Amino acid sequence: MKKLIIIFSTNTYFMKPFIFLLIAAITFGCKNKSNSEVETTTIDASTTHNNDGNDVAKKGLTIYPIDHASMVLQWDDVTIYVDPVGGKDLYSKYSTPNVILITDIHADHLNSETLDSVAGEGTNIIAPKAVYEKLTEELRSKMEVVANGFTITNSGISIEAIPMYNLRKEALQFHPKGRGNGYVLEKNGKRIYISGDTEDIPEMRNLKDIEIAFVCMNLPYTMPMEKAAEAVLDFKPKSVYPYHFRGEDGFSDVEKFKKIVENENPDIEVILADWYSRK
C-alpha cells in the first residue's frame, strides 16, 4: 500500500500516472487522514493536482516513506533520497535524485549497490567521512563530505549535519559521536529534521523551529520510545514522523508514542506512516 503525504503545498501537480491522487483543499493545521490508498496531509492553504502523468510543476513537499530509515522527499523540483538501501526496484517509481543524504555506515543506511544504481550523472551524495571511506572512487566523485556541525547548500536547500550518537552506556558502541550525521534541511524558512540513529541528545532537544521531524526509536540500537517522546516534547516540531522503529524484539510502540506526545502537547502532530510494508 502506498502512502503519500503532501506538505507545504500551494499548488501541487502530480507527475506519476500510477499514483492515484486524493487531495483536498485543507487549511493550515487541519488533517486529512483516511485508510484509503493514498494518505495526504497538507499544511498550507490549498492543493490542486493533475494526474495525467505530465510533469506540469512540482511544488511543495511530498514524503515517500520507503522502508525503516529510507525515504524519498520531493521538495518542489528537488528530489532527495535519504539512506537509500534495499535495491533499485524500491526506487524505480521516483525521479533520479538531485541529492542523496547518507547518515551512517550500517547496512540499513548505506548500500553501495543500491547507491550505484540510483545515483544519476548529476546526483550529489552528502555524507559523513566514515561513509566516504566505504565507497568506490566513482561514488566518491559524486560526494560531498560534511561533518557534524557544518552546513552546506545544495539544490537551493541548506543542509546542516547534526550529531547523532548513543548515550546509554550499553549502547555507546553502536553510534559513536562524530561518525554519523543527522540532518536539518531548510528552504524558505521551512526546516525538516532527519534524526539518523541517535538517542535524545542535547543537539536534538535544542533544535528550533522544526516543521517536520523524522525521529528514530528502536532498541537496542537507538533509543527507547519514551525517550524519543521526551525529546520531541522538548524541541516541539510541528509534525513528527516516527521512523526507524524496528528493533531487535520487534517494533517500538509508535501508537503509544503518538498518545504520549499529543496528550502532552496537542500542538504537535504525530504522523504514523507506513514504513514497513514494501519489503
Peptide bond into 220 cis (omega under 30): yes
DSSP 171: G
Spell out, one character per residue from 218 to 247, where the chain touches Zn ion: x when CB under 5 A holds, - when not. ------------------------------
Contact pick of 44, 197, 200, 269 for Zn ion (by CB under 5 A): 197
Check residue 67 for interaction with Zn ion (CB under 5 A): no
Which CB, 197 or 200, lies closer to Zn ion?
197
What lies within 8 Å, CB to CB, of 103 at 6+ separation is 69, 82, 83, 109, 127, 128, 164, 180, 181, 182, 183, 194, 196, 197
Q: Is 108 in the site for Zn ion (CB under 5 A)?
A: yes
Q: Which stretch binds Zn ion (CB under 5 A): 29-37, 57-65, 146-154, 190-198?
A: 190-198
Per-residue cell: 144? 560531498
Q: Please, what is the minimum distance in Å from the beta carbon of residue 30 to Zn ion?
A: 33
Closer residue to Zn ion, CB minimum distance, 43 or 101: 101
Relative to beta strand 212-216, strand 190-194 is parallel
For residue 109, give the C-alpha cell.
543506511
CA 101 to chain centre: 10
The CB-of-255 to Zn ion minimum distance in angstroms stands at 21
Binding mask 138-177 for Zn ion (x = CB under 5 A): ----------------------------------------
Residue 157's closest CA among 88, 82, 241?
A: 82
**Residues at the contact surface with Zn ion, assessed by CB under 5 A:** 108, 197
